[in-house]
A and B are shown apart, each in its own frame.
Chain A
Amino acid sequence: MFSLEGLKNTIHYTLSASLGTTSTLLVEMLIVGICVISLFAVLGLVLVFMERKVSAYMQIRLGPNRVGFQGSLQTVADTLKLVVKEGLVPNGADKFLFNFAPFLVMIVAMLIMAPIAFTKGLQMWDLNIGVLYVTAVSSISVIGILMAGWASNNKYSLLGAMRSGAQIVSYELSAGLAILTIVIFTESLQISKIVESQQTGWWLFKAHIPAVIAFIIFIIAVTAETNRAPFDLAEAESELTAGFHTEYSGMRFALFFLAEYVNIFIVCAIGSTLFLGGWMPFHIGHWSAFNHVMDFIPGIVWFFGKIFFLIFVIMWFRWTFPRLRIDQLLNLEWKYLLPISMFNLLLATVVAIMGWHF
């Protein structure tokens, strides 16, 4: 099977031949950091362009089509505009928190990147509580949003941040329970083991009904967690101008904007790891000929294909559904998603104990 392990080992041996153990580690960390940052930059450009094109096609429009081929350089032009813009700090704002908030949101996005397995052997940190780590760290981003809302000295920002807090805290529950459903089947929290366990088929198919229910709940919950329409109450363009980032401009705004898209990427990466097999190619049971053909496609292509499919689904939600009111939003979580996911957890446990899955 195609893997990047060879490349990784080559870099490691080349570095350790000329440097000491500590400096090898430092240089490797630097390389990984640069890779992550450039991945983020590319993701920001690609996902914003994709969002605009998908929304245009769904609304029978053309979308950006002026800058570059079919408008493909539109997001580059937008980024240039944001870079040269003045970054204002409003009067009476808490300057430290105001400047720190966008960086905190980005740092959280980078931290969640750590346990994600891109392909066989390409994983920054394969810790044994990977899924727990992701759910725990992703909750910190709400602090960044609250910080931005509070420090802006603006009622719109504060209202948006409060709503965002209520929303994220609520939807973490059902997202966590949906993740737990899969953990029951894999019997491990380690990302690499979760991927390995889907060698014979993805959990979405292997664990049938509970996994499908968990998958739907997970997609709904992460849409809410990333503050995207139809759950975009934190931004609420029609009511709160731009919610928690009303007062942000220039590069600080760009960081929030980038963090939103990076977060979508990350939650879709988690979703595809848990339900769609991560980098594992599409395998059906013991059909070795079919499985062998599927193995020719590299794992990284599978992984990014799955992620972009899930991102497309989330964009599809955004450009189809009307927005929810705050009470409807909390009703949906506490009266529908949470009871259903608790019941689903029981169902999954029964299925796992009785061995009714494939």
Chain B
Amino acid sequence: MFIVDYIKTVFGGVKSLLVGMNRTGYYFFHHKEIITQQYPDVKQVLPERFRGEVVMIHDEKNEHRCTGCTACELACPNATIKIVTKFDITPEGKKKKALDTFVYHLELCTMCNLCIEACPTGAIKMDQTFEHSVYDRSLLIKILNKPGSKLMEGVE
């Protein structure tokens, strides 16, 4: 029967629409639970493995563990890290390669974590900061070793 099917379609359609309206109407009148985060006021607790940017670990004596071996620079897939080395003179009079500046291009970094895995001395790690927006791209080029810092004793 065509006409019966037609009427059934109409009423079925209206019913399914009303079910949907009942759902959204319920949400409208029961405004308690909010599924969105109130971001700048309430910040989310980030998971431990969240990667925000590469930082170099410094201790309280302003010493880091980077020997300037450039393993991270070689491991980086898109040339985010540029290490400038210098030669220190040891007390025995020998020349020894050491870190001068650790240049980190945040704007190129994909947070792939390969540099941290490549580091033999555990000098760098991933930090959880993520609010990196700046008005000038040049501000994203960071020097990770703090001024005046030097290599920790006993790290080769």
Chain A residues with CB under 8 Å of chain B are 54, 57-62, 316-317, 319-321, 336, 340
**Chain A residues with CB under 8 A of B35:** 60-61
Say which residue of A58, A61, A62, A340 sits within 8 Å of B24 (CB atoms): A58
Contacting pair B31 A57 (CB below 8 A): yes
Q: Output the least CB separation between A179 and chain B (Å).
A: 21
Evaluate whether A59 and B10 lie within 8 angstroms (CB atoms) in the complex, with A316-B21, A320-B21, A321-B17 already known.
no
Give B33's nearest chain A residue, CB to CB.
Answer: A60
A58-B25, A60-B33, A61-B34 given. 4 additional CB < 8 A pairs? A57-B27, A60-B27, A62-B34, A340-B10
- B25 close to A316 (CB less than 8 A): yes
- A57, A320, A340: the one contacting B20 at CB < 8 Å is A320
A57 CA to B35 CA, complexed, in Å: 11
Task: Tell whether B138 is near chain A: CB-to-CB under 8 Å.
Answer: no
Asked whether any CB of chain A lies closer than 8 Å to the CB of B90, the reply is: no
Minimum CB distance partner of A66 in chain B: B40
Give B4-33 as 1s and 0s: 1 = Cβ < 8 Å from A's Cβ atoms.
000000100000010011011101100101
Q: Is the CB of A54 within 8 A of B28?
A: yes
Cβ distance A100 to chain B, nearest Cβ, rounded Å: 39
Interface bits B71-108 vs A (CB < 8 Å: 1, else 0): 00000000000000000000000000000000000000
What would 9 A/B residue contacts be, using CB atoms closer than 8 Å?
A: A57-B31, A58-B27, A60-B36, A62-B36, A316-B21, A316-B25, A316-B28, A320-B23, A340-B10
Q: Is B38 an interface residue (CB 8 A)?
A: yes
The chain B residue sitting closest to A332, CB to CB, is B13
Residues of B within 8 A of A57 (CB): 27-28, 31
Q: Which chain A residue has the least Cβ–Cβ distance from B25?
A: A316
Which A residue sits closest to B29, measured CB to CB? A57
Residues of B within 8 Å of A321, CB to CB, are 17, 20
CB–CB B34/A59 < 8 A: no
Chain A minimum-CB-distance residue to B40: A66
Q: Which residue of B lies closest to A57 (CB)?
A: B28
Q: Complex formed: what's the CA distance from A316 to B18 in Å? A: 11
Residue of A nearest to B20 (CB): A320
Q: B18's closest neighbor in chain A, by CB?
A: A320
Query: Which residues of chain B are within 8 angstroms of A59 by Cβ–Cβ distance?
Result: 27
B25 CB contacts on chain A under 8 angstroms: 58, 316
Q: Which residues of B contact A61 (CB under 8 A)?
A: 34-36
Bound-state Cα–Cα, A62 to B39, Å: 12
What sequence of 0s and 1s flags, for each residue 47-68 of chain B, a beta carbon within 8 Å of any chain A beta carbon? 0000000000000000000000
Enumerate chain B residues within 8 angstroms of A340, measured Cβ to Cβ. Answer: 10
Query: With a CB–CB cut-off of 8 A, which chain B residues contact A320?
Result: 17, 20-21, 23-24
Q: Given the complex, which residues of A lie within 8 Å of B27, measured CB to CB? A: 57-60
Contacts of A317 in B (CB 8 A): 21
Task: Tell me the complex Cα distance, A337–B31, Å.
Answer: 35
What separation, in Å, do the CA atoms of A336 and B14 have in the docked complex? 12
Using Cβ atoms and an 8 Å threshold, which residues of chain B touch A60? 27, 33-36
Point out the residues of chain B lying under 8 angstroms from A316, CB to CB.
21, 24-25, 28
- Which 6 pairs between the two chains have the least Cβ-Cβ distance? A58-B24, A320-B24, A60-B35, A320-B20, A57-B28, A61-B36
Residue of B10, B24, B36 touching A319 (CB-CB under 8 A): B24
List residues of chain A with CB within 8 A of the CB of B33.
60
Q: Which residue of A lies closest to B9 (CB)?
A: A336
What's the minimum C-beta distance from B70 to chain A, rounded to whole angstroms? 47
Within the complex, what minimum Cβ distance (angstroms) separates B107 from chain A? Answer: 29
